[in-house]
A = this chain, B = another copy of it.
Amino acid sequence: MKIKVFIVDDHFMVIEGLRALLQGAADIDFTGHATNAASCLAYLKKEQPDVILMDINLPDQSGIDLCKHVNENYPEIAVLAVSSFNQRSFIQNMLDSGAKGYVLKNVTQTELWQAIRAVAIGKTWVSAEVVQTLRQRQPDRPVITRREKEVLECIAQGLTNPQIAEKLFVSITTIESHRKNLLHKLNVNNTASLVRQAFYYEFISIQNEK
């Protein structure tokens, strides 16, 4: 019985590439592909592969969500994440969402085969480079509370304490306290470095318009 493999990726070239890499494996059968989450789900309603090779970046939905969904509704299907990002957050998110494996897009043919065989029988397969990344001690990210994060966002938006107080319906002194705690937690001593560190630790991102 061959291992049925389905591919989800929005890049034609990746699909073709994976397909080419799969060729020659006697025990692996390529059963189809989808370029977005929706058509993947549609396919799954009719047929279920053994393994899904899945990208993290899909046009309609994140691979994270799709992975979660597949895991909940088709627990027998193993998801093998195929990503170009060797970054802790991505890896952790995919594995947390139920992915059985994570390989990079520079994967070799033999490793891809191994990975597929591994996840197909319920094992976990993570590329060596990915394991490396996971092993690296992550910088101690300070723990800030929900409220502190709100205040931090307001600060970064350029609001003053009185303005923040008004916005959050609390006293000015409360904001001063939160601010004091934030300075301590992020180990800085003024607004400028507070904002810089907030970006560094990704408590806030640059998206917020003006």
Q: Which residues of A contact B (CB under 8 A)?
A: 10-21, 82, 84, 105-109, 155-160, 188-196, 199-200, 206
Contact = CB atoms under 8 A, between A and B. Distances in A.
A11 B84 contact: yes
A19 B189 CA distance: 55
20 contacts: A11-B17, A11-B84, A12-B106, A13-B20, A14-B17, A16-B21, A17-B20, A19-B20, A156-B192, A157-B192, A157-B196, A159-B192, A191-B191, A191-B192, A191-B195, A195-B196, A196-B199, A199-B199, A199-B206, A200-B206
Given A19-B20, A192-B191, A195-B192, A12 B107 contact: yes
A51 to B, nearest CB: 16
A14 B14 contact: yes
A149 to B, nearest CB: 15
Given A157-B196, A195-B192, A199-B199, A15 B12 contact: no
